[in-house]
Structure 1
Amino acid sequence: MFLTCISALAPDKLATLCSFVSPSVYEYIADCVTYDAAILVLQDLYIKPKNEVFSRHLLATRRQHSGESLDEYLQELRRVSKDCNFKVVTATANRDEYIRDAFINGLLSSMIRQRLLESKTLDLATAFDQARALDLAQINSESYLRLRLV
């Protein structure tokens, strides 16, 4: 915003940026030769990608808190939904995303849920395949332990 305000003066954007960051931040961009390169370095440093699957889980499981007004509750749902990466999709794709969210939400195994939530994006088929593989591995591991004890 500052650069927009002084754009008529045609400032050197990189020099201006370097003048207004702290010394610890400057260390990251000191070797950049263009403003755009410096911005890319700072974005990689400070902007972390959101986990779409976890954001959808948070949205699906968010309940109104005691003492929270309806306005506050709706505002919080809107805030949480910003990280869900909603996009225009077909009815089938929309249905599959809802099924995926319900599937993850309803799992009895917190370990399987945790492993699925590690994925930043995840379609229904992949979620089911991963869950089935993890479930089978857990069952086989328990069988292996029982055989060793006998």
Structure 2
Amino acid sequence: MTLAAGYRLVDGAPSTDDYVRLRRESGLSVKTAEQGSAAITGSWAFRHVVDASGGVVGMGRLVGDGAWYFLVADMATLPEHQGRGIGSVILDSLLEQIHAEVPAGAYVTLTADPPGRRLYESRGFVDVAPARTGMHLVTN
């Protein structure tokens, strides 16, 4: 998939301020600047999309060990820019990097919110239930 006119895919992370803003404005959980900075630093790969004015409108990243395990995280597109292929281009670019740089057999996982499920399934992701149970822990 290609981006609509006026959008550009950027290989790399957005600024910490844009990361925090994009999470908040796209409906993901709110994170602090400290958390955003650590997320950017701890990523194996990051992509973001800018609009014609240079504003960051979408992002996604991979957390991983660089060899066999990867987590797709922070897939977010501002509501007013959704439906224009931004998430598809970001996800495809991240998966292409895995295919190009990692030996076959890598395990790529994610937690999908309902609106993103169709995108992930269209790229071959399958639900792990009932064979596995998805869980999470949020520390205080």
Work out which of the two has the higher radius of gyration on C-alpha atoms and give 1 or 2.
1
**Higher strand proportion (structure 1 or 2):** 2
Q: Same fold (TM over 0.5)?
A: no
TM-score, normalising length: structure 1 = 0.22
**Higher helix proportion (structure 1 or 2):** 1
TM-score, normalising length: structure 2 = 0.23
